[in-house]
Amino acid sequence: MSLLYQVTNAVGIITLNRPEAMNAIDPETLAELRDCWIRISQDPKLRCVILTASGTRAFCTGSDLKKTMPPKEGIAQLTFGVETTPHLLDGMDQVKVPIVCAINGFAIGGGLELALACDLRIASKNAKFGLPEVCIGSIPGGAGTQRLPRIIGLSNAMHMLLTGSIVDACEAHRIGLVSHLVDEAELMSEAIAMANRIAANAPLSVRAIKKLVEDGMDMPLIHAIEHEAFVFGILRDSHDRIEGRKAFQEKRKPAFEGR
């Protein structure tokens, strides 16, 4: 199978499973990934998701050009017609729980764009990152030109985008592209520990924070603060918020129920 999916303790793990092709995304994998995001978005028991890949050479090197043909539709049809061409990130925006990306090896082109669409990125020390499309007369087509500056800042992003440079794990950590660097052997254990820590928190609060951050990035600060206050009010009388306070007072672990 080109994609594996399992759930353990309310944490879903998606594994790109084409190591022989550096986990490049072919049409079959793209369809499986899209279906997996839909499945995840409809599972009320999930509290966090990990996206990773098999092997040590690459997390993902983008589309498999050997199996991916240009669209048959003309520009007008693609722009104004019914959308029929699947997109690498289809379905990810419907996932309300945090997505942790565990990166080993190369995250290049669409592979990096896939990682950028996640909420957190953790990488092994042998990881490498780049959006080299400009070197072959193209541009990143999976929101790379938009997400990268929001994550690492304008100057660092422009350098990567305009030169097509590949950066190593240490540089990626320095500029904030990844939050944690670990030894290769510890990558999944660290990612699972991070996901379990997220999953142990109040589910409604976790989802609300993800939503607030995503929405707030496109709002003027004053409007984002007002939106935050509104969401705070919604959660104020929730079962889990009250339970959290009781557990703190009683010096015990809270039993969150997602309500």
Phi, psi of 151 (to 5 degrees): -95, -45
4 vs 241: CA distance, rounded Å: 35
Give the Cα separation of 33 and 27 in Å (integer).
10
Q: Whole-angstrom Cα distance, residue 54 to residue 73?
A: 34
Catalytic residue among 113, 214, 226, 228: 113
Given the residues 133, 226, 228, 257, select the one marked as catalytic.
133
Do residues 58 and 22 lie in contact, with contact meaning Cβ atoms separated by under 8 Å?
A: yes
Report which of 173, 64, 149, 152 is spatially closest to residue 108, judged by C-alpha positions.
64
Ordered alpha helix ranges (H), the chain: 27-41, 75-80, 110-116, 144-152, 154-163, 169-174, 187-199, 203-216, 221-235, 239-250
As to burial, measured by CB atoms within 10 angstroms (0-12 exposed, 13-18 middle, 19+ buried), residue 68 is middle
Is 243 labeled as catalytic in the residue annotation? no
| Known catalytic membership, residue 184 | no
Q: Are 217 and 150 in contact (CB under 8 A)?
A: yes
Rounded Cα distance, 40 and 11, in Å: 10
Q: Which residues does the annotation mark as catalytic?
A: 113, 133
